[in-house]
Copies of this chain bind each other. A is one copy, B any other.
Amino acid sequence: MQIFETIAELRGFLREARCQGQSIGLVPTMGALHEGHLSLMRTAAAENDIVVASIFVNPTQFGPQEDLAAYPRNLEADARLAAQAGVTAVFHPSVEEMYKPGNATWVEVVGSLTESLCGRTRPGHFRGVTTVVSRLFNIIQPDRAYFGQKDAQQVQVLKRMTQDLCFDIQLRVLPIVRESDGLAMSSRNAYLSAAERQAALVLSRSLAEARRMVETGERDTAMLEATVAAFIRQEPLAVIDYVELVHPDDLKRRERLETISLLAIAVRIGKTRLIDNTLLEVPNVLNSI
């Protein structure tokens, strides 16, 4: 596995691979790799001749009060894990390589996709994501790019961007990977103290609670949201950012559950903001008769 720090060198490497007819998969990450990232990389390795994993803590997707400086960075460990997962090339640019002097260009998805959920408490976050991912797409020109369903809103925003800007790239979305006790894998889990780690289980458990309610017939959005919120509030270390049940495509709220909905939550455990989500499917009554 090779590590590239510059766009020019990575492009040289990929040009050669492309000329030989090799397919290219891209796994964009901010490093601090965990099993969620590695599942993306393994799938990318199975589906492509070449896998590029980018490791870049992108400053433009962090708010001024957020954890840019503290975000965990460990290139050596990440490179070892990526190699084991089948990655061909790690792209690890400096901030100056990705944002050259005089940089003034933003790529932005507007409307409900970026204004809802995390968009409300993290203004500018998705603009930073689409801006950096569009650059990665242009640098690497992959056939396929891999993202985790953990970042459900990010996935919808990037699907929109990819379609709107006519990128000839297939987006592959893989399931959330969880610890054995249910906590969704996240690089930010590393911030949690032992007590907070225990408290953080309230996220996945509250989602399970919602799934049980839907199975027993609950269809009212407000009731489901209120019950999940009440469940989370039982945990003293948890502070709710949002609990929202939305349509998985447009991320807009509906009064009642339709065929399928996305229950998305963001919760602060101490100073750490965690997100989780689940799809809630209304059982098809006709099929079950």
Contact = CB atoms under 8 A, between A and B. Distances in A.
Interface of A: 7, 11, 99-100, 102-111, 113, 130, 134-135, 138-139, 141, 160-161, 163-168, 250
Contacts of A110: 104-106
Can you tell how many copies of this chain the complex includes? 2
A135 B162 CA distance: 10
Contacts of A135: 164-166
A7 B104 contact: no
A104 B100 contact: no
- Chain A contact surface mostly: mixed
Given A108-B106, A108-B108, A110-B106, A138 B165 contact: yes
A138 B166 contact: yes
A138 to B, nearest CB: 5
B139 A100 contact: no
A100 B162 CA distance: 12
A250 B108 CA distance: 23
A130 B108 contact: no
A259 to B, nearest CB: 19
Given A100-B164, A106-B107, A141-B141, 19 more contacts: A102-B160, A102-B250, A104-B110, A104-B113, A104-B160, A105-B107, A105-B108, A105-B130, A105-B160, A105-B161, A105-B164, A105-B165, A107-B107, A108-B108, A134-B165, A135-B164, A138-B167, A139-B168, A141-B168
